[in-house]
């Protein structure tokens, strides 16, 4: 599969890049926990380094510096995620950025990619079912997201479905509660499903629609498992800066006094001349898993962390 992916992008003129796994700063993402380590520089001050949760920070800098369309297969790290059937703290990620394209073009490109990789699972070859988040929510829950734009309204909607919501919960947490409970578990397992137009309340570096409260972001599910995430990348420096400030503050507030690492951020990221582009990130272990019609990634990993932990006990 890795060879097929490389040929696919090489044929289309994408440059394969290799960026660092250790970074002195990360993009602030309150929902992702980081691994932290230290560079011991003899006779100098030690320097904190973080294992990347995605190569996004470096790849975007390359785009801004005029690299053109690029792709990368790299190992990424996410801490504090519980070891489940489709989670390992170290995992393989494919990221590709297409310069000049938007998220709709990325759907087409991703369809072609799925056709080009080896698969024993017929579902990967089938036409995608593309739906907006609002439509799939309406279908599965009868809730119109347009009408539950604040915390109070979405909480009422959740409670009408029998979901208990603790006090002062944020909009996106309540949204995710409903999404996981009533929508995600019921996503078609017969064809790849692309859910577009994510709520703007879920902060990320995707562009906003100007006429509706959603972002130009999609996620793809194969056999009901989330495998890909895509943005029409934000290029507005003010908005990138705003995201950095807001999300860093949120992360600091949530993590202060806990064991969770608060990774450094580099505000200079917001000053990059980000080009019009669309980026897709695919969890490769999960893609490989679905291509073999498996339901867990363990058999694909030579050394799953869960096994190494049991050996120690």
Partner 1 sequence: MIKAGQIEKGTALLIKGQPFLCIEREFVNPGKGSAFVRLKLKSPATGQTLSETMKSQDNAEDISIEDRDFQYLYNDGENFSFMNTENYEQIEVPMKSFPDYEYLMKEGESYRVTMWEDQVLDIQIPSKVVYVVTETEDAVRGDTVQGVTKDAVLETGLKIRVPGFIKQGEKVRVNTETKEYIERVNS
Q: Which of residues 90-149 bind partner 1 (CB under 8 A)?
A: none
3-state DSSP call for residue 143?
coil
Q: Which of residues 11-30 bind partner 1 (CB under 8 A)?
A: 29
- Binding residue for partner 1 (CB under 8 A) from 185, 267, 305, 309? 185
- Helix, strand, coil percentages for the chain (3-state, nearest 5): 40, 25, 40
Query: How far, in Å, CA of 256 to CA of 198, rounded?
Result: 29
- Binding residue for partner 1 (CB under 8 A) from 37, 75, 80, 293? 80
Query: How far, in Å, CA of 247 to CA of 217, rounded?
Result: 18
Query: How far, in Å, CA of 149 to CA of 56, rounded?
Result: 29
Region from 2-10, 67-75, 81-89, 268-276 binding partner 1, contact rule CB under 8 A = 81-89
Length of the chain, please? 313
Contact between 159 and partner 1 (CB under 8 A)? Answer: no
Contact between 305 and partner 1 (CB under 8 A)? Answer: no
- Sheet of 36-39, strand order: 22-23, 47-51, 36-39
Cβ proximity to partner 1, 27 vs 113, nearer residue: 27
Q: Could you tell me where the DSSP H helices lie in the chain?
A: 2-11, 56-64, 103-116, 133-141, 151-160, 171-178, 237-255, 284-291, 305-312
Contact between 219 and partner 1 (CB under 8 A)? Answer: yes
Cβ proximity to partner 1, 74 vs 229, nearer residue: 229
Find the shortest distance in angstroms from Cβ 3 to partner 1: 27
Query: How far, in Å, CA of 200 to CA of 50, rounded?
Result: 28
- Binding residue for partner 1 (CB under 8 A) from 34, 50, 87, 89? 87
Query: How far, in Å, CA of 250 to CA of 28, rounded?
Result: 9
Query: How far, in Å, CA of 211 to CA of 205, rounded?
Result: 18
Find the shortest distance in angstroms from Cβ 224 to partner 1: 11
- Binding residue for partner 1 (CB under 8 A) from 67, 132, 181, 188? 181
Region from 1-9, 60-68, 82-90, 114-122 binding partner 1, contact rule CB under 8 A = 82-90
Cβ proximity to partner 1, 127 vs 162, nearer residue: 162
- Binding residue for partner 1 (CB under 8 A) from 177, 207, 216, 286? 177
Cβ proximity to partner 1, 37 vs 80, nearer residue: 80
- Binding residue for partner 1 (CB under 8 A) from 85, 112, 144, 249? 85
- Binding residue for partner 1 (CB under 8 A) from 95, 103, 151, 184? 184
Contact between 226 and partner 1 (CB under 8 A)? Answer: yes
With 0-12 CB in 10 A as exposed, 13-18 as middle and 19+ as buried, what is 273? exposed
Q: Which of 255, 194, 198, 186 is nearest to 36 (CA)?
A: 255
Q: Which of 287, 3, 282, 296 is nearest to 119 (CA)?
A: 287
Q: Which of residues 229-288 bind partner 1 (CB under 8 A)?
A: 229
**Footprint of partner 1 (CB under 8 A):** 29, 31, 80-85, 87, 163, 166, 172-173, 176-177, 179-181, 184-185, 202-204, 219, 226, 229
């Amino acid at each position: 599969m890795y060879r097929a992916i490389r040929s696919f992008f090489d044929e289309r003129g994408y440059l394969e890049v290799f960026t660092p796994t250790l970074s002195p700063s990360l993009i602030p993402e309150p929902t992702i926990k980081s691994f932290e380590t230290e560079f011991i520089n003899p006779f100098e001050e030690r320097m904190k380094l973080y294992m990347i949760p995605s190569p996004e920070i470096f790849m975007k800098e390359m785009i801004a510096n005029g690299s053109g369309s690029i792709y990368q297969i790299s190992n990424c790290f996410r801490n504090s995620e519980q070891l489940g059937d489709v989670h390992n703290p170290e995992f393989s990620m494919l990221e590709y950025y297409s310069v000049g394209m938007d998220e709709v073009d990325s759907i087409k490109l991703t369809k072609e990619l799925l056709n080009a990789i080896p698969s024993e699972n017929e579902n990967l070859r089938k036409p995608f079912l593309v739906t907006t988040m609002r439509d799939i929510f309406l279908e599965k829950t009868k809730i119109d997201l347009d009408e539950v734009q604040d915390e109070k309204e979405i909480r009422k909607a959740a409670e009408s479905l029998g979901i208990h919501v603790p006090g002062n919960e944020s909009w996106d947490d309540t949204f995710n509660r409903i999404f996981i409970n009533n929508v995600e578990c019921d996503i078609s397992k017969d064809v790849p499903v692309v859910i577009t137009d994510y709520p703007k309340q879920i902060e990320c570096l995707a562009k906003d629609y100007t006429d509706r409260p959603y972002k130009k972001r999609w996620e793809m599910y194969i056999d009901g498992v989330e495998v890909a995430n895509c943005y029409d990348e934000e290029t507005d420096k003010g908005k990138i800066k705003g995201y950095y400030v807001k999300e860093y503050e949120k992360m600091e507030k949530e993590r202060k006094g806990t064991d969770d690492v608060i990774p450094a951020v580099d505000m200079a990221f917001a000053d990059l001349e980000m080009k019009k582009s669309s980026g897709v990130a695919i969890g490769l272990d999960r893609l490989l898993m679905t291509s073999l019609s498996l339901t867990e990634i363990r058999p694909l990993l030579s050394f799953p962390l869960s096994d190494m932990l049991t050996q120690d006990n």
